[in-house]
Amino acid sequence: MNVLPWLIITPLFGAFSMPVISLLGGKFREYWAVIVSGLTLGIAAKVFYTVWKSNEILVYTLGDTNPIGNGVKFPIRIIWEVDLFGALLALTVTFVSFLAILYSLEYMKHDTGLDKYYTLTLVLELGMIGVVITGDIFNFYVFLEIMSIASYALVAFRNDTWEGIEAGVKYMFVGSLASSFILLGIALLYGQYGTLTMAYLAMKIAENPTLISKVALAFLIGGLLFKSGAVPVHMWLSDAHPAAPSSISAMLSGLVIKAGGVYAIARIIFGIFNPGLHGYLKTFGMPAFNLNTLGWIIIFFACLTLVIGNAMAVVQNDMKRLFAFSSVGQIGYILLGFGIGIVAYGDKIGEIALTGAVYHIVNHAVIKGLLFFIAGAVIHQVGTKNLNELSGLARRMPFTTISFIIGATAIIGLPPLNGFASKWLIYESSAMYNPILAVVAVIGTVFSLIAYTRVLFTFLGVESEKVKMVKEPGTAMIVPMLVLVIIILVMGIFSWQISDKIMLPTAKMLEQLNGEYIMALLKFIGGG
């Protein structure tokens, strides 16, 4: 039995049955949400293991065994195409979502309308899974919208606070604009080539690279940079993340900007506009795109993002805002890795950069999940997120402080923890490609070091009045944090093994030196 469809069916069923289940009472809907997201995690782990073990791209057609229509020679049905990158992202998404739902059990206890909350959270998870497994570009748009709309609603979930509504409205306007860019790009591609299957589209574009497809690419990348929170279009992010409930911030920062942002950028560039394919065409003197320009554009925005994001984190007084800006900064590293992966395509350097970028996506999801959980614990227990009022938490909340120290050192990228390996790969590749980029990357890290050291000192300093009576949060909030801490430590110890065994094959499969993404579709059609 193919498990792939269950990856969508489970959260979809969970979300749609939630209103019914919640008629049974409060406890049931919470257990239901935990069970559903736990099952989804199990399925994602199975899918990941299958893809990793066989090292082949999994293809699945909706509605039939073969995407080829009657009487036509090209795929007309929606296909899902899961390579290692997609499977890895699906695993990360389901893992952090599961922990976020577990965390919500206690964290969201005091809020009302929780059946809607759990429904939306499962829908958000569903949207992200859909984005990372789909092989059809319109299907991708639909899932992107599911994800985006769920996240607009979740950002504004606490609609009795002004900041929730303000951030939600801002996020919605900006996000809708970005989505319309993406839709426009897809429409242009469809008008030009008459197909929506990504792999088939890649072949058609290679046959006939036109100006229209270039314009479409610009629209797609522009819209997706919005969604990933790259500077200069990061302003929604720094409002949305602080305003959302912390369990949602963890998902927004750890997952949404990855799945709907950098993952999609990488997929569109390497899947549809494959630099390798076009380089191959060029050697035969055929018309082809030169994707180096695009690579440099991405590198430019990446450098801007990682310097400005991290620098803005230094001056924040609001803990969650600081983490949100730090997320912007870390997106810069991921984009830098992808950018170098494009300009140094087919090179050892490009491969290292892509490995680093993929690795950093996973690491950042885990670390930022932890940091937002910590921020949530602090807000939940103390009632403020202003760093100036939070001095001296360490005495009353030792576990939270230790977790914060681990999370902060991991995100700065200090050696015994997991952030080091991924950042190192990005530094190394940028230093080998162009030392100026490495200098920029190190400047970003210095800023992030300063930002987190400041938070650390507020945690450790002299106790303020506000924190005199606080205590640690309950088990349901401690356990997700503990799990993430353990994951960070274990990934830190085995960082190079993970890099070699998982991240490098992932990067290779994403890079598609032999057009694996297209070949998988052709093989699937031929075999079916």
Q: Are 10 and 110 in contact (CB under 8 A)?
A: no
**In the complex, what is the shortest distance from the CB of residue 392 to another protein, in angstroms, rounded to a whole number?**
7
Using CB under 8 A as the binding rule, whether residue 463 contacts another protein is answered as yes
Structure tokens at 366: 């885990």
The residue (of 326 and 409) whose beta carbon lies closer to another protein is 409
Using CB under 8 A as the binding rule, whether residue 466 contacts another protein is answered as no
**In the complex, what is the shortest distance from the CB of residue 417 to another protein, in angstroms, rounded to a whole number?**
12
Count the neighbouring beta carbons within 10 Å of the beta carbon of residue 416.
13
**In the complex, what is the shortest distance from the CB of residue 416 to another protein, in angstroms, rounded to a whole number?**
10
The residue (of 39 and 456) whose beta carbon lies closer to another protein is 456
**In the complex, what is the shortest distance from the CB of residue 64 to another protein, in angstroms, rounded to a whole number?**
54
- What binding mask, one character per residue, do residues 386-415 give for another protein by CB under 8 A, x or -? ------x-xx--x--xx-----------xx
Closest listed residue to residue 251, CA positions, set 386, 388, 103: 103
**For residue 9, what is the enclosing H or E element?**
helix 4-21
Count the neighbouring beta carbons within 10 Å of the beta carbon of residue 63.
7
Q: Are 247 and 101 in contact (CB under 8 A)?
A: yes
Peptide bond into 480 cis (omega under 30): no
Applying CB under 8 A, the span of 67-75, 259-267, 351-359, 450-458 interacting with another protein comes to: 450-458
**In the complex, what is the shortest distance from the CB of residue 198 to another protein, in angstroms, rounded to a whole number?**
40
The residue (of 77 and 395) whose beta carbon lies closer to another protein is 395
Using CB under 8 A as the binding rule, whether residue 94 contacts another protein is answered as no
CA distances from residue 164 to 167, 321, 372 in whole angstroms, order as listed: 5, 13, 17
One-letter amino acid for residue 397 of the chain: M
Please list the alpha-helical segments (H only) found in 284-397: 292-314, 319-343, 348-382
Torsion over CA: 467, 471, 475, 478 (sign): positive
**In the complex, what is the shortest distance from the CB of residue 358 to another protein, in angstroms, rounded to a whole number?**
23
The residue (of 78 and 488) whose beta carbon lies closer to another protein is 488
Using CB under 8 A as the binding rule, whether residue 497 contacts another protein is answered as no
Residue whose structure tokens are 């997929």: 267
The residue (of 188 and 412) whose beta carbon lies closer to another protein is 412
**In the complex, what is the shortest distance from the CB of residue 435 to another protein, in angstroms, rounded to a whole number?**
13
Using CB under 8 A as the binding rule, whether residue 456 contacts another protein is answered as yes
Peptide bond into 232 cis (omega under 30): yes
Structure tokens at 128: 């992200």
**In the complex, what is the shortest distance from the CB of residue 457 to another protein, in angstroms, rounded to a whole number?**
6
Pairwise CA distance, residues 273 & 263, whole Å: 14
Pairwise CA distance, residues 190 & 363, whole Å: 36
The residue (of 302 and 440) whose beta carbon lies closer to another protein is 440
Residue selected from 461, 475, 486, 493 as contacting another protein according to rule CB under 8 A: 461
The residue (of 236 and 459) whose beta carbon lies closer to another protein is 459
Q: How many CA atoms lie within 13 A of 350 on its CB side?
A: 19
The residue (of 172 and 410) whose beta carbon lies closer to another protein is 410
Pairwise CA distance, residues 280 & 286, whole Å: 9
Instruction: Kindly identify the residues of this chain, within the stretch 165-224, that bind another protein according to CB under 8 A.
Output: none
**In the complex, what is the shortest distance from the CB of residue 364 to another protein, in angstroms, rounded to a whole number?**
21
Residues that bind another protein (CB under 8 A): 392, 394-395, 398, 401-402, 414-415, 453, 456-457, 460-463
